[in-house]
Structure formats: structure tokens, C-alpha cells
């Protein structure tokens, strides 16, 4: 069933939208199925690899609407890519034992002391703050978005820093919940204050 739906979607994109949207979507599916999924059982780098197909859907939407791979598409990719790192690592930190029992080698599973996990959560939040400001700097969004992105990013960094400095399940849960609020609010601000 999944294969049939995927094939139908690819045929739809190729025949009614654009070949570029088809190509981006095909790469997304291939990376998810043939890179990310098998790597989950082999290496903690699966989170980074999996963030690529996780960040490509807005690129597919961009090329479907504009039929180009402009800078804006890659800025959206960067935001989604970087957002997934603290989000996924917070989930993995909370459910480390479950992932370990399932044989999924996320960073918190192999990083017994947690130092690398906490550092990566904070680094992801910091990088996301910087990249989230780019839509205004490249002319996609205005000053309301910029201010909102900055404030959201600073709050997310503060929670990531708290997790890094005083690691706990409570702090990881706060990072997770913040990530669930962060992305829709950021994208709503971008839609509201588009240029």
C-alpha cells in the first residue's frame, strides 16, 4: 500500500506539478527508505541523515510553486534540518531505554553519560537561531518575523542550555515541548509577515 501511494504521488507530481518537484520528492523518499531507515540500527549519525529527508518537503513545496531551487528553498531546508536535531535528541533522551531495547542507535543510546547529547541539543538550538533569522535577511519575511524568530530562538537556546548545564528528563521534556511550539509559531510568523 505504501509503495502504491508513493508511486501515485510521484506520478502526480511529475505529470501535473513539475519534474523538479518530482525529483525532490523522489530524493526525499529514497533517502528516508534507503539511508535513514537502515542507519537507525547502525549509527547515531542516523539523526543527521534522517534530518535531510525530514527537511526536504518544504523544498518540494517551493519548487512546486516556483519551479526553481532558489535561496529561499535552502533557507527553509536549513530551518527544518536544524530544528529536527534538538527535537529528535530530546525525544531520544526521554525514551533512551525504549530505543535501546529496539536496537535503535540514536546518540543518547550510545552516549551513556549524555555529554555529547546535551552538547548537540544546545548546538542545534544555537545554529537554528542563526539560520532562522535568514528569511528576513534574504527578503522572504519582514521585521515582525525577524523579531519573533529572534525571541523564539533565544528561548529555545535557553532551554537547550539548561538541558546542557543541568541534564534531566524534565529539562529534556521542556526542550521537546518547546520544539513542538517553536516550529509552527515560526512558520506562522513567516506566513504572516511575508514580503
Give dist(CA 161, CA 155) in Å, integer: 10
Q: Please count the helices (runs of H) and the strands (runs of E) in the chain.
A: 12, 0
57 burial (CB, 10 Å; 0-12 / 13-18 / 19+) is middle
Give me the pLDDT at residue 61, please: 95
Q: What is the DSSP letter of 166?
A: S
SS3 state of residue 194: strand
Give dist(CA 11, CA 26) in Å, integer: 10
- pLDDT tens by residue, 98-108: 999 999 999 99
- pLDDT tens by residue, 118-150: 999 999 999 999 999 999 999 999 999 999 999
Cα-based distances in Å from 94 to 26, 52, 193 = 32, 23, 35
Strand partners, 141: 194
Domain boundaries, the chain: 1-69, 78-195
Using H for helix, E for strand and C for coil, what is the string for 148-190? HHHHHHHHHHHHHHHHHHCCCHHHHHHHHHHHHHHHHHHHHHH
Contact 83, 76 (CB under 8 A): no
| Sequential pLDDT tens for the chain (195 residues) | 999 999 999 999 999 999 999 999 999 999 999 999 999 999 999 999 999 999 999 999 999 999 899 999 999 999 999 999 999 999 999 999 999 999 999 999 999 888 999 999 999 999 999 999 999 999 999 999 999 999 999 999 999 999 999 999 999 999 999 999 999 999 999 999 986
Contact 156, 179 (CB under 8 A): yes
Amino acid at each position: 500500500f505504501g509503495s502504491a501511494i508513493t508511486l501515485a504521488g510521484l506520478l502526480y507530481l511529475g505529470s501535473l506539478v513539475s519534474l523538479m518537484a518530482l525529483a525532490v520528492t523522489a530524493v526525499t523518499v529514497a533517502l528516508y527508505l534507503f539511508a535513514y531507515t537502515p542507519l537507525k540500527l547502525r549509527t547515531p549519525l542516523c539523526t543527521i541523515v534522517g534530518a535531510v529527508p525530514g527537511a526536504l518537503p518544504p523544498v518540494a513545496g517551493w519548487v512546486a510553486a516556483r519551479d526553481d531551487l532558489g535561496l529561499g528553498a535552502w533557507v527553509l531546508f536549513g530551518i527544518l534540518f536544524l530544528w529536527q536535531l534538538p527535537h529528535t535528541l530530546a525525544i531520544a533522551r526521554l525514551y533512551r531505554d525504549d530505543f535501546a531495547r529496539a536496537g535503535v542507535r540514536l546518540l543518547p543510546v550510545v552516549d551513556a553519560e549524555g555529554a555529547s547529547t546535551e552538547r548537540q541539543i544546545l548546538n542545534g538550538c544555537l545554529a537554528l537561531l542563526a539560520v532562522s533569522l535568514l528569511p528576513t535577511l534574504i527578503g522572504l519575511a519582514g521585521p515582525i518575523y525577524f523579531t519573533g524568530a529572534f525571541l523564539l530562538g533565544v528561548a529555545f537556546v535557553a532551554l537547550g542550555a539548561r538541558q546542557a548545564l543541568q541534564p534531566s528528563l524534565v529539562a529534556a521534556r521542556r526542550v521537546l515541548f518547546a520544539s513542538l511550539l517553536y516550529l509552527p509559531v515560526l512558520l506562522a510568523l513567516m506566513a504572516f509577515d511575508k514580503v
